[in-house]
Amino acid sequence: MARKDFDPSSVRPDARPPAQARLFDPAGEGPWRGSVEGIAMGGDVTVLAYGTDTPGAGPRLHVHPYDETFIVTEGRARFFVGDTVIEAAAGEIVLGPAGIPHRFENLGPGRLQTIDIHHSPRWIQTDLD
């Protein structure tokens, strides 16, 4: 499917160079695989990698002053976003809106792997439990 959402001649490059960073070591241990703040890449989003093989395990309840988008790349997760509970599987995304406390856990069986996009050039978080 061909797309033409805008006229490329209407956008002026902003002079930022292309950038590259290592998000995580595939052989690394532990659930928090790595993070790259947008500020280090000259961008507007911060990217985190999270993975665990333990059913029931996941990040603690926390909140951000910006939106967070979760991409489930492997396994199944249960997300708690405010008063809403969402179950998501590999290939699905979940939005945690700014100011709404959230957490998620591995539903199992097997590995849960997510890429978490913080809509901010810096990772800013307050843990609530």
Instruction: Pick the more confident residue, 10 or 27.
Output: 10
Residue 11 has pLDDT above 90, yes or no: no
What domain range includes position 40? 30-121
Burial per residue of 27-38, b for 16 or more beta-carbon CB atoms within 10 angstroms, e otherwise = eeeebebebbbb
Is 89 domain-assigned? yes
User: Based on the number of CB atoms within 10 Å of its own CB, is 127 exposed (0-12), middle (13-18) or buried (19 or more)?
Assistant: exposed
Is 20 domain-assigned? no
Residue 49 has pLDDT above 90, yes or no: yes
pLDDT in tens, 56-87: 999 999 999 999 999 999 999 999 999 999 99
Is 16 domain-assigned? no
Is 59 domain-assigned? yes
Is 22 domain-assigned? no
Is 105 domain-assigned? yes
Is 15 domain-assigned? no
Residue type, 109: P
Q: Domain with 75 in it: what CATH number?
A: 2.60.120.10
pLDDT in tens, 99-120: 999 999 999 999 999 999 999 9
- Domains contained in the chain, number: 1
